[in-house]
Structure 1
């Protein structure tokens, strides 16, 4: 395997930040240049019932969410994994960020999503941006169920794929082969598209 190049990765999920932050944490731990985002209108975390989610604005510090939910019902939010998730998130960054508002965050080589609906939203957003640099960005969807166990498993798969991409000199020339090999080895279907900055 060749030396490859240093790449910037973005992990993107819907509104609760579980899958993208799990992947962000793992990739960061392995020394990759990574950021994470949500695409929803708000950050939604499970509440006491399906019809009573906890809703926060993007940019609300994870510490604020953690303290508020710990005050509300520490047993519930510990049991359903929300407090440990927020604690993990706050060790990685201050607050959740929204993908659509990330233009100032710079340019990514790879954007990875964890559900097809989010993949479509990222592609639409990229297509609506002015393409000045003509720099390619690879957008990949790795379908991962939104629960803590699947998020942890999906993060490991995301890490392997990102390492594979970073190890190549030119993903633009080898992406079809990388994806085919990866799908065979991981027994997972991957969607991908190329857009431009």
Structure 2
């Protein structure tokens, strides 16, 4: 489930996974545009709409889909743990490397905006590497030094 703050802490606005961001946006805007604009939810959804169609469940990815990934970037320690456990419990496909990184960001609209900018900086560093395998640890060190942040990082073979 995807949860957004509602009119009070006891009434979060909840949507099932795979609900398109566009649908969430339209519903929340028609429900109470002032509230969801003020608490930053509509701005966050506007950014999400540009990124992908809908929120996804990690566990729904097949090994064939995961085999296409080089890097997985998580935004919560809890999600990092879920991804790590899932990858370690799956039967390896061809033992190709995958790099799991966590940039822990508070789940608020304000922090999500900052986290998005930090994630972009990290992805640019990684994208510019001539050799992904050997370069990621150095890119992470560089990022941590520049941003004064600590990332979780685990290389795996899947």
- Give the shorter-chain TM-score range: 0.7 to 0.9
What are structure 1's unaligned runs of at least 5 residues? 1-41
Which residue, 58, 64, 75 being the options, matches 1:99? 58
Task: Report the alpha carbon displacement of residue 43 of structure 1 after superposing the two structures with TM.
Answer: 1.0
Using CA pairs below 8 Å that are at least 6 residues apart, which structure has the higher relative contact order? 1
CA distance in 2, matches of 1:120, 1:85: 24
Residue in 2 that maps onto 1:82: 41
Write 1 or 2 for the structure with the bigger share of strand.
1
What are structure 2's unaligned runs of at least 5 residues? none
Which residue, 88, 110, 114 being the options, matches 1:153? 114
Residue in 2 that maps onto 1:58: 17
Task: Report the alpha carbon displacement of residue 123 of structure 1 after superposing the two structures with TM.
Answer: 0.4
CA distance in 2, matches of 1:153, 1:85: 11
Note if 1:190 corresponds to 2:151.
yes
Q: 1:75 to 1:113 in 2, by over 3 A?
A: same
CA distance in 2, matches of 1:84, 1:166: 27
CA distance in 1, matches of 2:47, 2:142: 32
Partner secondary structure for residue 192 of structure 1: strand
Residue in 2 that maps onto 1:143: 104
Which TM-score applies when normalising by structure 2?
0.87
CA contact (8 A) 2:28 2:36 kept: yes
Over the residues paired in the alignment, what is the CA RMSD in angstroms?
A: 1.8
